[in-house]
Structure 1
Amino acid sequence: MRVMLKATLDTEKANEAIGSGKLSELISRTMDHLKPEAAYFAPLGGKRTVIMVFDMQDSSELPPTGEPFFRELNAEIEVSPVMNAEDLQKGLSQLS
């Protein structure tokens, strides 16, 4: 299932991680692990935010996906199922 991970980073922890080089390492490890189809990095709501869209095969993948952000960056995590335009059209066609 295609899901979107949104990690809103704690500013103080992110500042420390940037200074030590750990933020770059965490992002690289996460990208290698998830192999996202898309990844975005932006200041949302005044906080550094990571958004990745990836395929989650099983809900048991959730702990190793979110825990590094929780533990290392005191981040707020949201994971939501998402669709692309093709998925939406397929779903809408089933409503008739």
Structure 2
Amino acid sequence: MRMLVNVTCPIEPFNTMVRNGTAGEIIGRVIDDIKPESIYFTEQDGKRGAVMVVDVPDASDIPSIAEPWFLNFEAICEFRIAMTPDDLMKSNLSKLAEKWNEVQMN
């Protein structure tokens, strides 16, 4: 299942890792291990952050994605299911609307 993962890193310990030269190397290792479809680094709530698109075949895979960020950067990770337009089309919205409109009208 494709998921969006928002990662927010607190100012510390990240500042210390930038100063001692380890932040980039650790981020590289994390990315190599997780192998996201894409990753973008950005600001989130005034802190360093990243947004990743990852394939999560099973819920038991979530810790392997989150723990490197938790353990190395004391980060917050938020997981959201992401659908492509094809995924949305497979959901058969018109049939769902028909089913739930009937409930609402009764």
TM range (shorter): 0.7 to 0.9
Partner of residue 73, structure 2: 73
**1:55 shift after superposition:** 0.5
Partner of residue 56, structure 1: 56
**1:26 shift after superposition:** 2.6
Secondary structure of 2:41's aligned partner: strand
Amino acid at match of 2:48: R
TM-score by length of 1: 0.84
Q: In 2, are the aligned partners of 1:4 and 1:51 still within 8 Å (CA)?
A: yes
Q: Point out where structure 2 has 5 or more consecutive residues left out of the alignment.
A: 96-106
**Mapping of residues 22-61 of structure 1, within 5 Å:** 22-61=22-61
Partner of residue 17, structure 1: 17
Rounded to whole Å, the distance in 1 between the matches of 2:79 and 2:23 is 20
Q: In 1, are the aligned partners of 2:2 and 2:82 still within 8 Å (CA)?
A: yes
Rg bigger for which structure? Answer: 2
> In terms of mean alpha carbon deviation, does 20-29 or 62-71 score higher?
20-29
**1:95 shift after superposition:** 4.0
Q: Point out where structure 1 has 5 or more consecutive residues left out of the alignment.
A: none
Identity %: 35
Q: In 1, are the aligned partners of 2:34 and 2:64 still within 8 Å (CA)?
A: no
Q: In 2, are the aligned partners of 1:26 and 1:68 still within 8 Å (CA)?
A: no
Quickly say closer, same or farther: Cα 1:86–1:21, change in 2 above 3 A. farther
> In terms of mean alpha carbon deviation, does 79-88 or 46-55 score higher?
79-88
**1:94 shift after superposition:** 4.9
CA RMSD, 1 decimal: 1.6
